Structures are given as structure tokens and as C-alpha cells.
Structure 1
Amino acid sequence: MCSIFGITQPSQEYKNFLSHRGPDHFDSFSTKEIYLAHNRLSIIGLDERSNQPMQGRNGTVIVFNGEIYNYKDLKAKKLSDYVFKSHSDTEVILALYEKYGIDCVQYLRGMFAFAIWDENEKRLFCARDRFGIKPFYYTKNQDQFAFASEMKALLPLVPSIETNQEALSEYLTFQYTLGAETLFQNINQLMPGHLLIYQKGDLNIKKYWDVSYEIDFSHSPKYFEEKLESLLTDSVCYHQVSDVAIGSYLSGGIDSSLITALACESNPNFYGAFHGKFTDHPGYDESSYAIDTASALNKSLYTINITSQDFTDNISKIIYHLDTPVAGPGAFPQYMVSKLAAEHVKVVLGGQGGDELFGGYARYVIAYFEQSIKAAIDGTHKNGHFVVTPESIIPNLTLLQEYKPLIKEFWKDGLFGPLDERYFRLINRSVDIQDEVDWDLFDLRKVMEKFKGIFNNQENVQKEAYFDKMTHFDFKCLLPALLHVEDRMSMAHGLESRVPFLDHPLVEFAATISADIKFPGGRMKSLLKEVFKHKIPEKVLMRRDKMGFPVPLKEWFSGNLKDFLQDIFSSQQAQTRGFYDAKKVVKGLEGLSQFSRKIWGLLCLELWHREFHDKSHEYRY
């Protein structure tokens, strides 16, 4: 594990700034500098395992954050003639680069962000893994290019700390951003599955991988079941390549329970699982499901009871480690459980990706319900492979009991419109904050255009499959946001989180499975449950009430944390932000629905402004 930071042609003022800040101010690098390639590249932040930069044979040097799970296979099959100086996966990347150039990324199986300086070509080559598990940020101005694992490490190099208004409009709509731009003006992210080349002052970025939903209609369901079992089992084995103890997050849902079960099967030294629970209010304690799974596997379960006091004590730290607000309230319990896990292990396995690959969100059922009604009315429910019948979906509608407010909101503007507009209504978080935000400041047409461009991307989803369009959008936009949380909340405690569902052979295979096999009749994760039904306790397998990582924010915000919120939003700072009305936020604390993200989204933005905008002088030199 390591973080990366690099800069071409660093100024003396910046060097002085770093030397005075000390190693604790930024998490992504230490202040020790190694000058390479005739001072053309300064690498700050080294491989923690060796505390030395990894150098290749032809004047190449690499900084690397992540893990390459198939590095031993690559050494044996692709690099048998290479004389290695170490046993690390880092050197394997350098050896692949020497042999295959920038195409080396095609051979890597794992999570990674790296930068290679090629002295012969006077070229900086950077790449990020296919799914965005590991972060990579950069900024460029005039003749200076800098990159880092964290946005905060780049703040001293941007002209000023300002909010990117276009990205802010996306966050206010979805609670995540859609593209390469971040909430910080002049700081971009290298997108998942992309590589970057910086040479002679020119910056070029290109995509090296993408997922394509080319549906396979030639095989039987049995074929897909057997191959899914093989690929996921294989992935869990690869993700346990490590010299240290490995555990897992165990929420009590299908995905984390399955990953834990498969990990125990393949690793007799598997340490145990970690779970966070809320016992202050009924309906938020899912520990019984985690206990059942751990008991069935005969493994230890370590739990932490998370309270409202934990929230007030840690929410500002969480925003600091995230760099920018992103995704939902799950970041808070993830931070707490990661802290617990870090007291026992250095590596944990998680279940991220299962929902996007196999259909685990209730909104997919809502959309399918409407689609089945429309197809029945139009008489098209027997056309093609993708339309469910009303008869098939009715038995699955009971899981939507808690989602009546969402259904009401979804249908209030009419039914049977274009697919993109219908799904937009399902994921649009801005309906909660229409009164609090000054929407005249934002160009929402751009947000909708960008959304439609991704949702209707014919290169990825060629058929008129509503399910594939929905899961593809979430895979491209929501999942990177969730992985942002997964990485930052674990690394905040020096913990490495690995996600076996996001192994590219498995992802590419899952994209070929038709919706009527993955999601028949609107049955969430039907294929996954069928294949692995003997690995998971029946109580977990049959549950219909899983809601991600539920946090009792509604109860806290109208109870124990009401004064905390009123203090924040009644402050002079909050009153002068300009883009939202803090007084209306305070008035809206009563009557929040269980699924409302109103307060969460605006609270995160306010705390972000306090940390990075109000303290901007601390990030300057």
C-alpha cells in the first residue's frame, strides 16, 4: 500500500511550503523528495514497503498505489526472461512497460493508480484501474503538471481554491459528479479505465478499457451459472494474495455475506469479519444477519455500536478524508467500521459492485414495474428478451413497501415517458432541495445533457434494455462515487479495502448476461442468489428489507443532533454561502422522510466549505 504524489518542475516556493507543512498535513505524501531524471520529475511519496522509488532498467521510475493480483502469473508467463531485483508487484509493472509500452495496462488484474517516468522518451505515463478503485488527480497550469492520490495535495498548486460550478450542479442533482471534473476548480480526476501521457508540455488522455453489454443469447442459464461461480470464486482467491491477515466487511446483505463465505473457503487463515450496527432506533440494527453468517462460517465477528455522538465527533474528519462530498450517508458507518477493522487487520474484502452488476437496487424494480404495466397496455410484453410481464413481477413487489414515497415521487410527473427521463427521476436528489438551493445559479440543462449522453451511450448498451441502461449508468457514475468512499474511509485508518466483484473478467462476463437471466420478473440479484444459495444462510438469502448501510439520520437530525445542525446552519459562514438558504434548511429539519438526503447533502457541502474554502490559507504557500 502507498499513496502517490508527483510534480514536474516544482518551484522552490512549493518545496519550501512542503518542508514546513510536515508529513501529517496531507495524507498522500511525505515531505521527503527524491529527484529523478535530471530534476524533471520530483516524486513525493514512496512505496511504503521499501521507502525507495522503484527504478527500471532504462531510466524508468514508478510510483504506484494499489495491488496487482496476477503479478506472479505475469512474471511466469509474460516476463520469464526479465531479471527481477525484487519480489514486488510494482517491479512487474515496470517490466511490462519495458516490454509492451503503454499497452502494459491491458495485462494488469487489480486496483491501481501509477505514474512512470520514461527518461529515454522524456515522457510521463500514468494510468488508473478499470473501475476507479484507486484515485488519481491532476492539475496543469502553464508549464507545470502535478498529480496526486488526494485532491488536497494539489490545492497549493491551483491559482485559488474555488468551487467548480458545473460539478456542484451535478452534486446537487445526484450527490456525485459525472465526469473528470471535481468540485475543486482546476483539479480533475483521471477517469477509470483511462491512461494519461504528459510529454513536452502536451497532455493526452485516452480510454484503454470499457464495459460493453453485448448480450449472449447462445448459451443456457446453466452455462451462465457455472461460469459465474467459477469467475467469482477465482476472483476472491486472487484478492487474497497478501502477506498479512485478511478480514472482510460484513453488513448482513447478500454481497458481503457471499464474499466472506468464499474467502473463508479459500483461505483457512481468514481472520474474521467486521460489522457496524445502530441500536438507538428500531429498524437500523442489522447485526443479527451478520451474526448468522459469521456463525455459519465459524468465524469471529467484530462489531461496533455506532452512535449519534460518533457522528458529531467524526463527520468533519470524514469530509476532510473524502476531499469532496460524495455519495450518501454510508461514508459515516464505513469510516467507523474501517477504524474497527484496522485494529485487527491490514486488508479487508468488501462487496462493492454486486448491486450494479446483478441488479440490487430497489429502484430497478420500480422501473421494471412501470415497464411491465406499459408493455401490458401496449401489448408488447412478449416482444424480445427484456420486458417483464405484470404476472411475473407481482410476487416481488412486497419489497417495495418501504419505498412508497419514492414511487409516489417517480410517478407524480406522469408515466411511460422516455427511458432516460424516467430513470433520471428515480435518481434525482434535487427534488428534496428545491426551496433551499438557488437553482438560477446553475445550468441544469448541461446536467441533463451529460446524464443522457451516458445513459443512452449506444457504444456500451446497444439494445433497448431498460435494465442494462440503468445498471450501466450506475456502473459508470454511482459506482466510482461509492469506490471513492470505500478507498478514502479505509485508507484514513491505514486499511486496504479490496473488492472482488470488480475483477474485469467477471465484469466483462456479467455484461453479456441478459436481463431475463440476471433479473427475471424483477427479482433482485436472482442469478447471484441461485448460484450461491448454498453458501449463504437462508435468513440472509431470503431477506427483502436490505437498504444498503442504513443510518438513522432522520431520527438523529430531529432529535439528538438537532442542536448540532442548527448551530452549523445558523452560523454566519453558512448564511453567506450564496448558493443555498441556510435558514430554510433549519426550518426543514422537521418532517424529513426516512430516505431524504436533503440535510446530508447540504451538511456535507457546508462542512466541505469550512474545511477547504474557509481554511484556504492553510493550503497555500
Structure 2
Amino acid sequence: MCGISGWLATAGSPLQVEHGLRSMMNAIRHRGPDGDGVWVDDNRPMGLGHVRLAIIDPEHGKQPMVTEDGRFIVVFNGAIYNYLELRRELIGKGHPIHSYSDTEVLLYAYREWGEGFVDRLVGMFAFAIWDKYEQKLFCARDRIGIKPFYYSFDGERLLFASEIKAILADESVRAQASSEGLQDYLTFQFCLDDKTLFKGIQKLEPGCCLTALYVGDKLKVRVRQYWDLHYNIDEEHDERYFIDTLAGLIDDSIRLHLRSDVPLGAHLSGGLDSSAVVCLAARMMGGEQLKTFTGAFNEGPQFDETGYAKEVSAFAGTAYNEIFIPAGHELPDVLPRLMYYMDEPLAGPGVIPQYYVSQLASQHVKVVMGGQGGDELFVGYARYMAAYLEKCLSGAIYQTANQRRYAVSLESIVPNLPLLATYQPMLQGLWKDGLFGAHDQRYFSLVDRSDGMSQLFNLDALRSDRNYSPFESFQRIFNRDELHSLVNQMTYFDLKGSLPALLHVEDRTSMAASIESRVPLLDHRIVEFMATIPPNIKFAGGRMKHLFKESVKSSIPQTITDRKDKMGFPTPLTQWTKGVARDFVRDTLLSDQARRRGLYNLDVVEKMLGNEREFGRVVWGMLSLELWHRIFIDRDLKPSGI
């Protein structure tokens, strides 16, 4: 795991290029404390920078790395898990690979197969390869978006990096808020497509590549998609086949993800996903004891799952480590620091415990695995059940349930409805404005987090020149052709929207602790396989994660597969913001600085502050956004410990 940066322009000296790269690298030094390097072209104003966290072949993996003939130069962030298999194949073809570094394999794979080599990679990656002879840069990001890649191009200069703050380190880049990004954030608490909260800074989307080519004195930049998920439904096999095949894919993914030349551990929440990863990994460790890391809060039993985590740890024989996260009195110091590491606020307050658990893990290991992605892949969110409950009611009332392919009937879903017992606010929100509408409108209402937020903002300050609509961006993803069913529409949107935001959190909290985070359930082979399963098998009767449970049940405690109370790492933020952190919240959101921003309706904000419901996200969303403005836009808040 590392940090990459690049600087390409139509004009500039080698000294200017190196100075720019050094500034960018210093901004992301936490991503690579084990070393750094710069390579500058002697014919063009371009260069590549790298800060390294040494995981695979620590002795020989220094970057930027150059082929023996000097033609290709690479900077790479991530891990190629099938690098040993590719290495053997490339050596067989005569390539002079001398190390056991996955970076060297990446470099020579490009030389052998060209841009299409990304299809051969199993792993997480963001990289840039410079072809010195053709004066061409090729960059790519992994299929799921596990590793980040940001860029800014003004027609004359291309800057790219693993984190936005590295691009902002360039003196000529002015941080400005994007009105369209802000609209997305207020709607979803993340940005869709290639948008960020920064005007003029884009993210390379998952499964996409970027090519930059010098044509005379001009620099041409092109982005294209090299991978997307295709739902080619397998009608030939039964449920047993899908369970057995999934089990084999998960086993193989975890086996590959265990490849490391430094100490490795795993997050353990006590939920199904992390428990499965831990139990399967511990079984493959060959006598070495796996270290596991768990976090909880002291604010009540609803914030503490350590009992389940300890049970899994004992079952798997792991070395158990836990941290009880400090109460909210640390929030004034921790939250600005987190917003700095995050670059832009995304998702919910779960970033706080993730940060603390990563800090704990960094005291013991350099690589940590987790269960991220299980809810999206295996149909694990309660909102999926809520959407299907409405669909089933409609089918029963209008007698259309048997007229649709891949339908779920009301009779079949009833036994699984107790899952929604603790989700009454979500159901009330879903049904308060209507019932039985179009699928895109109904699911949008489940992922739209602007309820309670819109009246707090001056909407005129958010309008963009092209009258942007977050709902229309949502529709383009949700209504993609050939998704076949509601469950595929929902999970596909989450794969493209909310999952990259959660992976953003995973990347930043681990990198803030200078450790590598791996997510074996998001091996693209598993993702592609799940897309082939008929929806009426994948989500039969509304059974959440049914196939996944069946595929791993022999390897984990039965109490975990039978759990109905998984909490998803809830954070007692509402208790803090009404208690020990009350003054911090009010001083931040009701300050003269916030008032001058012209973004908030502060009279409404003040009335709202004491009325936040438990696990609500309104205060979190506003607090994160205001701190983001102060750190990156105003540049007058320097977080402690940075």
C-alpha cells in the first residue's frame, strides 16, 4: 500500500516538476512511511512520485520502478494477489523479472500485453505507467474502486494522486467547492460518478483507465471504462451449485489475500462478513496465529458487540485485541483530523471507530483484512427487504406477483419480515410520501439522506450552471439495461455509489495508521459470479445473505449465522453531540464563520441541534461539511496531530 503522484504539463523545467512532485508526496507521507522516490523525464515536463508502505518483497520493491531497457516506468498503489502466477508466465515468455515484487510483475505485464493486461489482474490497484518512447501515460483503477485515484486537468497540465490533498499541495491549484458535488453530498452523503466536492478535481471511476498523450506541444487526456458488471443470468444450475461455487471462490480469494511478507491480521466485528473472513483465514494460516482487532463503545450495550467477537476469536483460535473507543470529549480533536485524512466527508460516523481500530491494528500488524462489501454483494441491507416488502404488497394487492420474472411473493417474504422490527423510522420515511411508485423513485427514497437536511441549507447557494439533478444521476445507474430485477438494480447502484464511499473510508482510516487494508469478499471474480445468479435464488423469500451463509456456515459459529441483531458498528454520536461534545458542535455550526459562508439557514440549524434522533445523520452531515470547508476551502483550520 502506497501513495502515488504524477505531474505532466506542456511546459516546465525538470526542477519545477520535481519540486511539484515533492510537495505532493509530502502531503500523503502517511501512506508510505517506508521510503519514497521520484522519476522525472529528461525530454518532457513530466514525472512520477511515490511514497512506499513495503508489503510484498520489501527489499526489492522500491518505486518508481523502471524496466531494464528504460522504456517503461511505473508507480503503483495496491496489491496484485495473483502476482506469483503472472510472474511465472512472464518469466516463461522471457521477461527479466528478478524480484518477487508485484510491482515488477505489473510493469512487465504491461510490456507483454499492453493496456489489456488489466483484465488479468486479481487485486486492488491504482497505477500509472509512463511509456518513454511513445510519450504516453496509462493509468488504471481497480474494478471495484478499492484503491483511489484523483486527477485535475486544465488543458495544459495534468496532476494526479492517491489523495486530493496531494493535488491541492500544488501552489497553482485553488480549492473551490463544487456545487454539484455538494448537491450529491446532501442527497447521498457521497458523490456519484467522477465528481468530488472540489471543483476541477475528479476521481477516476472504478473499472476505468486514463490515458495522457503528448501530441506535439499539446497534452491530450482520455478516460474510458475497461470493466463493468454484466448480469448474464445462469439458468442452468440450481441453488446447491451456486452455494458450492461461491464457497470455492471465497476460499481462493482469502488464500490469495493472505500473501504478505509482513505481519497480517484482521478486523473482527462479530458480524457474519468479518467472522467468515477471520475463520477461513485462521484455518489457512498454517499454524501461525491470526491477530484480530475489535472496537466498541462504553455508552451502552447497543454499542458493544465484543461478546460476539470474542466468541468468534475463541472458535477460530485468534489472538484477540480490542479497544473501547474514548467518549465524545475527544471529538473536537479527532473529527477535524479525520476530515483532513478523508479529503472530503463521505458516509456516516462509522469512520470514527474505524479510525481507532486501525490505530489499534497498526500496533501489531502491517496488513489487515476485513469483511467490507458483504452487504452489497450478498443482499444484506435492511433497505433491500423494505423495498421488496413494498413490491410484494403491490403484487398481492394488484395480483401481479406471478406475472413478473424473478418475483418475490408476499407469502415467501413474511417469515423474514421480523428483520425490519427495529427499522420503523426507515419504513415511515419510505411510506410518508407515497406507495407503489416506480422502482427508481422508491429506492431513491431509501438512499436519499436529504430529509431533515434541505431546510437547513440555502439551496440557491447550491445551484449549478446546468441545473444539476442528483436524482437523474441516480436514475442513470439504477435503470441500466439488463439488470433483470429490483434486487439487481438496488445492489448495482450500491456497487457504483455507496460501496466506493465505504471503501474510501476503509482506505483513509487504514492509511492514516500506515497499514494496508484488504477486502477479500470484493475479489472481482466473486462480484462477477454473484451477478450470474438468478435473483429468485439470490434473494429467495427475502432471505438476507442466504447463499453466503450457506457457503460459510460450516466454518463459523452457528450463533453468528443465526444472528438477527447485527448493528453495523453504530456510533453514539447523538449522545455526544447532546452531551460532552455539545459546545464543540454549537461553536462550529453557529459560528460567525459559518454564518458568513451563506450556505446554511442558521436559525433553523439552531432549532434542530437538540432534536436529532438517535442514529440520525443530520448533525453529522453538517458538522463534517463545515469542518471540511474550514480545512480545505478556508484553509484556516489545521487539525492537531497532522
- TM-score, structure 2 normalization: 0.92
One-letter amino acid matched to 2:525? P
Counterpart in the other structure of 1:36:
41
Q: How does 1:511-522 map to 2 (within 5 A)?
A: 511-522=531-542
For the pair 1:347 / 2:361, whether they are aligned, the reply is: no
Per-residue deviation, residues 237-280 of structure 1 (Å, max 9, x unmatched): 00011011211111111100001111011113243210110122
SS at structure 2 position matched to 1:117: strand
One-letter amino acid matched to 2:88? A
Distance verdict in 2 for CA 1:270–1:238, change over 3 Å: farther
Q: How does 1:423-572 map to 2 (within 5 A)?
A: 423-443=443-463, 446-458=469-481, 461-463=482-484, 465-572=485-592
Q: How does 1:347-386 map to 2 (within 5 A)?
A: 347-386=367-406
From 94, 106, 127, the equivalent of 1:93 is 106
1:549 Cα deviation (Å)?
1.5
State how far apart, in whole Å, the 1-side matches of 2:26 and 2:437 are: 54
One-letter amino acid matched to 1:3? G
1:560 Cα deviation (Å)?
1.9
State how far apart, in whole Å, the 1-side matches of 2:22 and 2:88 are: 43
For the pair 1:327 / 2:347, whether they are aligned, the reply is: yes
1:594 Cα deviation (Å)?
2.1
From 143, 146, 151, the equivalent of 1:133 is 146
SS at structure 1 position matched to 2:347: coil
State how far apart, in whole Å, the 1-side matches of 2:31 and 2:159 are: 13
Counterpart in the other structure of 1:245:
263
SS at structure 1 position matched to 2:191: coil
SS at structure 1 position matched to 2:469: helix
For the pair 1:5 / 2:5, whether they are aligned, the reply is: yes
From 193, 197, 211, the equivalent of 1:183 is 197
Per-residue deviation, residues 586-610 of structure 1 (Å, max 9, x unmatched): 3212232223110111111011011
Contact 2:126 2:141 in 1 (8 A): yes
Per-residue deviation, residues 366-397 of structure 1 (Å, max 9, x unmatched): 00111110011121222344222222212211
For the pair 1:286 / 2:323, whether they are aligned, the reply is: no
Counterpart in the other structure of 2:181:
167
Per-residue deviation, residues 474-500 of structure 1 (Å, max 9, x unmatched): 011111000000011001111100000
One-letter amino acid matched to 1:242? S
SS at structure 1 position matched to 2:126: strand
State how far apart, in whole Å, the 1-side matches of 2:396 and 2:63 are: 65
From 52, 63, 72, the equivalent of 2:84 is 72
Bigger mean CA deviation after superposition, 410-419 or 443-452: 443-452
State how far apart, in whole Å, the 1-side matches of 2:31 and 2:319 are: 33
- TM-score, structure 1 normalization: 0.95
State how far apart, in whole Å, the 2-side matches of 1:25 and 1:77 are: 34
One-letter amino acid matched to 1:102? E
Contact 1:37 1:59 in 2 (8 A): no
In structure 2, the gaps of 5 or more residues are none
SS at structure 2 position matched to 1:576: helix
State how far apart, in whole Å, the 2-side matches of 1:20 and 1:498 are: 28
For the pair 1:149 / 2:172, whether they are aligned, the reply is: no
Distance verdict in 2 for CA 1:432–1:118, change over 3 Å: same
Contact 1:117 1:123 in 2 (8 A): yes
Contact 2:413 2:542 in 1 (8 A): yes
1:79 Cα deviation (Å)?
4.2
Bigger mean CA deviation after superposition, 429-438 or 230-239: 429-438
Bigger mean CA deviation after superposition, 540-549 or 51-60: 51-60
SS at structure 2 position matched to 1:556: helix
Bigger mean CA deviation after superposition, 51-60 or 238-247: 51-60
1:37 Cα deviation (Å)?
4.5
Counterpart in the other structure of 1:205:
223
Contact 2:282 2:317 in 1 (8 A): no
1:617 Cα deviation (Å)?
11
Counterpart in the other structure of 1:123:
136
The count of residues paired between Structure 1 and Structure 2 equals: 615
For the pair 1:214 / 2:232, whether they are aligned, the reply is: yes
Distance verdict in 2 for CA 1:400–1:337, change over 3 Å: same
SS at structure 1 position matched to 2:127: strand
One-letter amino acid matched to 1:395? P
Counterpart in the other structure of 1:574:
594
State how far apart, in whole Å, the 2-side matches of 1:381 and 1:580 are: 46
Counterpart in the other structure of 2:254:
236
Per-residue deviation, residues 137-176 of structure 1 (Å, max 9, x unmatched): 1111232111111101111445421001101100100000
State how far apart, in whole Å, the 1-side matches of 2:296 and 2:148 are: 29
State how far apart, in whole Å, the 1-side matches of 2:194 and 2:535 are: 30
State how far apart, in whole Å, the 2-side matches of 1:31 and 1:236 are: 30
For the pair 1:192 / 2:206, whether they are aligned, the reply is: yes
Per-residue deviation, residues 292-319 of structure 1 (Å, max 9, x unmatched): 1111112121111012234333111111
What RMSD in Å do the two structures reach over aligned CA positions? 2.1
Distance verdict in 2 for CA 1:580–1:554, change over 3 Å: same
State how far apart, in whole Å, the 1-side matches of 2:155 and 2:435 are: 51
- Identical residues among aligned pairs (%): 43
Per-residue deviation, residues 493-550 of structure 1 (Å, max 9, x unmatched): 1110000011111111011112222222111101111221122222221111213221
Contact 1:311 1:332 in 2 (8 A): no
Distance verdict in 2 for CA 1:21–1:60, change over 3 Å: closer
Distance verdict in 2 for CA 1:67–1:22, change over 3 Å: closer
SS at structure 2 position matched to 1:509: helix
State how far apart, in whole Å, the 1-side matches of 2:479 and 2:516 are: 35
Counterpart in the other structure of 1:273:
292
One-letter amino acid matched to 1:230? G
One-letter amino acid matched to 1:456? N
Distance verdict in 2 for CA 1:22–1:156, change over 3 Å: closer
For the pair 1:114 / 2:127, whether they are aligned, the reply is: yes
1:118 Cα deviation (Å)?
0.1
1:34 Cα deviation (Å)?
2.9
Contact 1:167 1:177 in 2 (8 A): yes
SS at structure 1 position matched to 2:3: coil
From 397, 404, 408, the equivalent of 1:388 is 408
Counterpart in the other structure of 2:274:
256
State how far apart, in whole Å, the 2-side matches of 1:69 and 1:25 are: 24
State how far apart, in whole Å, the 1-side matches of 2:548 and 2:300 are: 31
SS at structure 1 position matched to 2:294: strand
Distance verdict in 2 for CA 1:407–1:145, change over 3 Å: same
1:53 Cα deviation (Å)?
2.2
1:16 Cα deviation (Å)?
5.2
Bigger mean CA deviation after superposition, 78-87 or 374-383: 78-87
1:39 Cα deviation (Å)?
4.8
1:132 Cα deviation (Å)?
0.8
1:4 Cα deviation (Å)?
0.4
From 298, 304, 314, the equivalent of 1:295 is 314
Contact 1:386 1:466 in 2 (8 A): no
In structure 1, the gaps of 5 or more residues are none
One-letter amino acid matched to 2:81? Y
One-letter amino acid matched to 1:562? R
Distance verdict in 2 for CA 1:533–1:31, change over 3 Å: closer
State how far apart, in whole Å, the 1-side matches of 2:78 and 2:21 are: 24
SS at structure 2 position matched to 1:430: coil
Distance verdict in 2 for CA 1:246–1:417, change over 3 Å: same
SS at structure 2 position matched to 1:432: coil
One-letter amino acid matched to 1:278? F
